[in-house]
Structure 1
Amino acid sequence: MPTHEREITEPVDLCLPDGRLDPRAVGWTRRPLHRANLRGWGRAKRWEYWGIVTPSHVIGLVASSLDYAGVHGLYVLDRASRAEVSHDAVVPLARGAAFPPRSGEGTARVAGGGVRIAIDQHPGGTSIAARAPGVVVELEVPLPDGHESLGVVIPWGPRRFQYTVKDVGRPVHGRLVLGAAEHQVGDGAFAVLDHGRGKWPYSVVWNWAAGSAPGLAVQLGGKWTDGTGLTENALFLDGRLHKIGASLEWVYDRSDWLRPWRIQGDGVEVEFTPFHEKVSRTELGLVGSETHQCFGHFTGRIRADDGQWADLDGLTGWAEEARNRW
């Protein structure tokens, strides 16, 4: 059903001085305007995830602090052979992890378990450097003039809330080194950012889909936002954000993740056909996670602000389900 969402147009702090959610922070933005002034230890989560799709490879890298641990990773999929390279690291108490309070500013750095990631953000874009055994990633992600991203604060309550920035369809260039082979990243490639800061419930499930083609991108989410009055759904046409204020129904087969997915709601008629499934599991006693991230192609259509329908045929990206106890 439709939501009634407030657009925020001025800078705002995420939290009040006592650490509770500032009601003025609840809403959505077209560019990062929130300062994530999280306080204290316990239930606080901070992460930067970059997903990069090229004609030959898919690259995923995550730097995160979950308070009790840093969970970092570097992943590469060869789209032709389906060969995967995956390196994951768990660092107790997230030692050495550093994250800036604003998306698009400052540097995030993590290291541990053979994985090193540095994300340097500046007015012109983002520089990404990541290394793990047998893998080197060096990328530049320019920020085009007028490019918009979706920022949303999801309020579960005064002490449980999440700020996310989903930036889809960014240009990217650089290099990927796998062993002795170097691959150039540029033509036909795009990058997606998931910037997260917040204080989460112990158990949560989410869906996320992102896809891009020249001049067109889509960002869709579900489950974790249900009942909050806000969504993280948007269409991007030539870099401009068209906010989708409808909660969506996600239909997929948890016994066969490679079957087509359907994502639908008011103004959204999307089908996603996977070509590869990536499974990630982390078990640390009382906490753990399981994610099924499927890479594939989108078809269907989404209605823009002016009522016209945008055809999604040809978009490439991913759809996922994540289940977390954290």
Structure 2
Amino acid sequence: MTHEPELTSPVDLCRPDGRLNPDAVGWTRRPLHTANLRGWGRAKRWEYWGIVTPDHIVGVVVSSLDYAGVHGLYVLDRATGRETATDAVVPLARGAALPARSGEGEVRARGGGLEIRISQSADGSTIRATAPGVRLDVDVPLPPGHEALGVVVPWSGRRFQYTLKDIGRPVHGTLTLHGQTFEVGGPDAFAVLDHGRGKWPYSITWNWAAGAAPGRAIQLGGRWTDGTASTENALFVEGRLHKIGDELRWSYDRSDWLAPWHITGERVDIRFRPFHERAARTNLALVANETHQCFGRFSGWALTDDGTRTDLDGLVGWAEEARNRW
């Protein structure tokens, strides 16, 4: 069982002076935090949707990093390995909209031939994104009783992050890629949301893994939460969240990203076997990023809150390492 407190009422992330609200530290089963960040000072806001289908993997990101908006639309053709990606950097994140509460309002960004618009409501989200050669038009409904993991990670009163990871949402609509339109939907198609709001240290490294199959999903994180007493680990069974409170051990080969990964803890023993690596690097002197996102298949097990072992064989998703100076 986790030792972190579960929050059950709405709460502001920050105090009026902009520092972390101590009452916001904990975890939730649904979006309850309002990210009332103030001003600059290493503030980061982002919305990332990952969509997995039997034919494609799609990534949509809208982000504001104070000094710039960094947005993108990515598509992997799983059969051929062909990647289609458009990235846009917009000074001062002009025109980007990122609401303070997950699931409410509209997320939008535009620049460099890319346009993204995400409408959010209590019933779910609608994602519309266009870029050269790509058009995505999907709905991501929110099933009754579906739970998501919200966590506040406190490095200090001035450095903290609220993350909401929503894994295994149903998705349906269309993806048009280089003139060919594909239907998106069915039991083997799902969407993942990473909603982030916070004030970060200058240099940070994280691991993230997410995978889903009908009735089961896993959310795992590491490194960036070390020493904070907070974790972002959870098992989902039929939409119900089982919080995993211990830090996990991640083992993988940085010289061979497509080699198997191994993620373990008291309630987790997972193998991840990649079939494709997406590598992204930027280096703008003081600002740099290196991300290796590997798509693949999971096997192994995790324990529910009552100790029931859940088989994770057949889950599809990704595991990644990201190193940031920002």
Indicate whether the TM-score tops 0.5. yes
Asked if the contact 1:3–1:247 (Cα under 8 Å) also holds between the matched residues in 2, the reply is no
State the 1:42 CA deviation. 2.1
Asked if the contact 2:160–2:200 (Cα under 8 Å) also holds between the matched residues in 1, the reply is yes
SS of the aligned residue for 1:294 comes to strand
State the 1:320 CA deviation. 0.2
Counterparts of residues 4-19 of structure 1 (less than 5 Å): 4-19=3-18
Partner of residue 101, structure 2: 102
Counterparts of residues 174-213 of structure 1 (less than 5 Å): 174-187=173-186, 188-213=188-213
CA distance in 2, matches of 1:3, 1:30: 14
Q: Does 1:55 align with 2:54?
A: yes
Amino acid of the residue matched to residue 246 of structure 1? Answer: D
Partner of residue 168, structure 1: 167
- Write the deviation string for residues 71-117 of structure 1: whole angstroms up to 9, x where unpaired: 00100000000011011111111111111100011111111111111
SS of the aligned residue for 2:94 comes to coil
CA distance in 1, matches of 2:252, 2:165: 23
CA distance in 2, matches of 1:261, 1:20: 37
Counterparts of residues 1-326 of structure 1 (less than 5 Å): 4-187=3-186, 188-326=188-326
Amino acid of the residue matched to residue 319 of structure 2? Answer: A
State the 1:284 CA deviation. 2.1
CA distance in 2, matches of 1:43, 1:267: 34
State the 1:3 CA deviation. 5.4
CA distance in 1, matches of 2:138, 2:42: 32
Structure 1 portions without partners, runs of 5+? none
CA distance in 2, matches of 1:40, 1:83: 40
Amino acid of the residue matched to residue 80 of structure 1? Answer: A
CA distance in 1, matches of 2:45, 2:194: 11
Task: Please report the RMSD computed on the Cα atoms of aligned residues, expressed in angstroms.
Answer: 0.7
- Write the deviation string for residues 140-188 of structure 1: whole angstroms up to 9, x where unpaired: 0000000000000000000000000000000000000012100110012
CA distance in 2, matches of 1:194, 1:4: 23
- Write the deviation string for residues 194-219 of structure 1: whole angstroms up to 9, x where unpaired: 00000000000000000000000000
CA distance in 1, matches of 2:36, 2:277: 36
Amino acid of the residue matched to residue 35 of structure 1? Answer: T
CA distance in 2, matches of 1:118, 1:159: 31
CA distance in 1, matches of 2:53, 2:257: 22
SS of the aligned residue for 2:23 comes to helix
Identity of aligned residues (%): 70
Asked if the contact 1:283–1:289 (Cα under 8 Å) also holds between the matched residues in 2, the reply is yes
CA distance in 2, matches of 1:204, 1:147: 31
State the 1:283 CA deviation. 2.1
CA distance in 2, matches of 1:150, 1:308: 20
Asked if the contact 1:3–1:229 (Cα under 8 Å) also holds between the matched residues in 2, the reply is no
Asked if the contact 1:141–1:170 (Cα under 8 Å) also holds between the matched residues in 2, the reply is yes
Asked if the contact 1:128–1:140 (Cα under 8 Å) also holds between the matched residues in 2, the reply is yes
TM superposition score normalised by structure 2: 0.99
Amino acid of the residue matched to residue 258 of structure 1? Answer: L
SS of the aligned residue for 2:155 comes to strand
SS of the aligned residue for 1:24 comes to helix
Structure 2 portions without partners, runs of 5+? none
State the 1:285 CA deviation. 2.1
State the 1:253 CA deviation. 0.2
Amino acid of the residue matched to residue 68 of structure 1? Answer: Y
CA distance in 1, matches of 2:136, 2:322: 25
CA distance in 1, matches of 2:178, 2:113: 15
- Write the deviation string for residues 233-256 of structure 1: whole angstroms up to 9, x where unpaired: 000000000000110010000000
CA distance in 2, matches of 1:319, 1:99: 25
Asked if the contact 2:2–2:243 (Cα under 8 Å) also holds between the matched residues in 1, the reply is no
TM superposition score normalised by structure 1: 0.99
- Write the deviation string for residues 256-307 of structure 1: whole angstroms up to 9, x where unpaired: 0000000001111000000000011122221011100000000000011111
SS of the aligned residue for 1:157 comes to coil
Moved over 3 A (4+): none
Amino acid of the residue matched to residue 165 of structure 2? Answer: K
Asked if the contact 1:277–1:295 (Cα under 8 Å) also holds between the matched residues in 2, the reply is yes
Asked if the contact 1:270–1:300 (Cα under 8 Å) also holds between the matched residues in 2, the reply is yes
